[in-house]
Chains A and B, each alone.
Chain A
């Protein structure tokens, strides 16, 4: 197990470096970024203080240096915990993203839990009662759920709530808590608002997981050892939960790691529609304004979060399934 862990960690480092390079390239791709626009603006004014400021910016970010040097500057500071300044908000990036990233992670983890809690029992039921009326209905519902992107569903639900019940479903907090410091009341308020985004983000993932769980379970139920267990005279409950389920649930662990990118993407779009105070809307705005240090830090953090998620999933899989360790 330790050897496996060390191997995975060694593999993690080049991945992270490659990711940082790609993030840097992406944020530098747009032809006119915010900084150049800012410099042009300052040059137009042409007074001495702005000239000084401009020189400061140029030397700080190494804008007169070649690309790779800019990258090295950016990444060394990034590792040291200095993520640069958002030009639009004129604030350190760190301040802007800390709370939003936390909320994103919280939402993603809740979504995964929700997906599992809903999908596994339904998948088991569907497999055990295969071809029953309820199974057929669940199959249709899960197919439709898979086809419905959360952000479009969010739009429809929001409009329906607003026009039919005059309820505004936007945001994660009530008005009185939006800018308040963290307190017990705020946490309760957050939990009250969170069910809708979690449902919307988890919708297609849950539907997909139901299908996978059902297929896995059907596969296992057809195995000979299940037949053996049944012919031994074991109770059906024991056969399903003790013999079949344990094996059928194994592949889901690696799927949890793989579904994280999907959830983050869905979270982003849903948050933009529902205007949640998570990474989505700010990243979107940063991209529109070409606020490159903000956008780049977001991208980098999301991917790091993902890679870590995959890492944990890998470890969990190796822990439950010894075959993976000795591959």
Chain B
């Protein structure tokens, strides 16, 4: 097997917000793409192919919006590929873009992911009125709350872990100029006293609904040093999927996530993720998913993920910072949320993360999941050339 090395040379994202009424959908994706191109020292004409990802089209009410966005993305006359793998799509899209480079077919690929949830009614889009399907599940929180309850029981985790994650990610988010939610007086009490929406999920333990976009320029080795910042190198990418309605499936610790992590670690030569990886940007839409994914990703043994959170290991100044950017709990433009994890991981190893920079970050994991905890996408990025 001989694949081309792939470098991340440009990264851009929008300011994420509840409703970016100052921008059209095209304007929003361009805000991120122009920043990525600028970081890469490139112009639209330099790009060979565009790979676009977003979650369900009903979030904006535009079917296959890549067609409408072809002009705004400078894609006319070029290949333009649209990926959709539910909530993991931002990550999967970056993986597809990386393969465009690793295959040796393309030198300079622009990859973009977005969601502009304010354009439509996202709650409606998630739960259309289908005659033979009950609507009582009540959105994503209602779907995932039973999984969280089962995790808490299995791991014998104390109730305050979810609150601790929420406080940590929101404190981190205050250091990220692009983050959507900014709660200056965030505190343990404030989260604990926030309304219980989908018991056991409290209001301040939930992600927001955001408008936002993320973009990256990925290149072959030949163009790796043309950007304004040193490149991040892709050391491994992996995706795994498992069926939603399968008898016996473990939604709390899904095998697809474990297999995906094992694959990406093997590619990157990682045998001890907890010891070797400097930080991780992990898709945590409800705070309890931090300890759940710590176990699924092999950072902790089964039932022990919550202890890392409890000991402060996952804090910005901890031993294994998780979501220094503030994560999905701080900004959640769904289709872009996965790519933001991938991009933030790359920003860290490029030393680009500003106030939320992890000192000495050299090896980082970007993680995304989607559907009913069934679609996973991951990459490992490094400051060192593989």
Q: Specify whether A and B are partners.
A: no
- By a beta-carbon cutoff of 8 Å, the part of chain A in contact with chain B is none
- By a beta-carbon cutoff of 8 Å, the part of chain B in contact with chain A is none
